[in-house]
Amino acid sequence: MPNKIWRVVDLLDWTAQYFEQHAIPNPRLDAEVLLGHLLGKSRLQLYLDFEMPVFQEHLTPFRELIKKRIDRTPVSYLTNEKEFMSLAFYVDERVLIPRPETEQLVETILTTRTDSPQRLLELGTGSGVIATILAVHQPEWDITATDLSEDALAVAQKNADTHTGATQIKFLSGDLFEPIKATAPNGETQFDWIVCNPPYVKKTEWETLSPDVRDYEPEIALFAGDDGLAVIRRLIAEAPEYLAASGKLILEISDTQADTVRTLISAEPAYDSCELIKDYAEKERIVLASVP
């Protein structure tokens, strides 16, 4: 970045072009989000302050951010923020960056009519976005959220503390249903909802992932064995034991897994219905299975 007096507009133009030369997807947007983050301004404010000079105290850290983005660090890890259903969540490299597709999983739960407060279990909560948004919208619900990663749980707790009453969500650590089994060994704990956005990428797809994902997001949040179904298979088999009468299992899946997941659920006699829900791109990404 040459030495001169830089205005906001010059910095954005220069950075967007530099990102483009380095094949960074969304170069202009990334430039705006990173500069806005550093100056404490929204993207709209940046446009209103286009002529404002930017001095060395901000230029030096901005250069650092540009370098990290060229190394393909995701923007959300650089700003430590990701918006999910209109709320800002803290994220860092301990957790998967929440994806817009997951909003539909939450919306499906919120739009399913229920007469009484629901007991809901989220497995693999990561940054805690699903459990936290549900707690914000349904303060009467009894919500438990788990993760195998203690690091992820620390982030989830931080987000829950920011957006909900500190104790509204009960966080437990462990492998899938293990922490539930540990607190209620005789299967007395049952849920109306079991929710999970599980890891579902095939190990063999590692090379095909974008470097932003492959080199920065936690492996434990992405990969599930050679066919990507290792966790989904266990969820389908084990969930009925923890579902109350008329309880529902709802999962996010990849856009190539719908047929296999439908077959797995049909083969499990505990379920009496299975619905595949399409995302905004018309791909079957949400599976909703119920027990009688």
Q: How far is the CB of 224 from ligand SAM (least distance, A)?
A: 8
Please report, for residues 37, 110, 259, the alpha-carbon distance to residue 256 in angstroms, rounded to integers and kept in the order given. 36, 26, 8
Q: How far is the CB of 130 from ligand SAM (least distance, A)?
A: 5
Q: How far is the CB of 128 from ligand SAM (least distance, A)?
A: 7
User: DSSP label at 201?
Assistant: B
Please report, for residues 106, 155, 164, 226, the alpha-carbon distance to residue 136 in angstroms, rounded to integers and kept in the order given. 12, 17, 6, 37
Closer to ligand SAM by CB, 39 or 220: give it.
220
Applying CB under 6 A, the residues found at the interface with ligand SAM are: 96, 98, 102, 123-127, 129-130, 146-149, 152, 175-176, 197-199, 220-221, 231
Closer to ligand SAM by CB, 15 or 146: give it.
146
Q: How far is the CB of 252 from ligand SAM (least distance, A)?
A: 7
Closer to ligand SAM by CB, 148 or 264: give it.
148
Secondary structure of 204-261 as H, E, C letters: HHHHHCCHHHHCCCCHHHHECCCCCCHHHHHHHHHHHHHEEEEEEEEEECCCCCHHHH
Q: How far apart are CA 95 and CA 75, in angstroms?
A: 14
- Asked if 265 and 237 touch (Cβ cutoff 8 Å), the reply is no
Closer to ligand SAM by CB, 33 or 232: give it.
232
Q: How far is the CB of 157 from ligand SAM (least distance, A)?
A: 13
Closer to ligand SAM by CB, 12 or 106: give it.
106
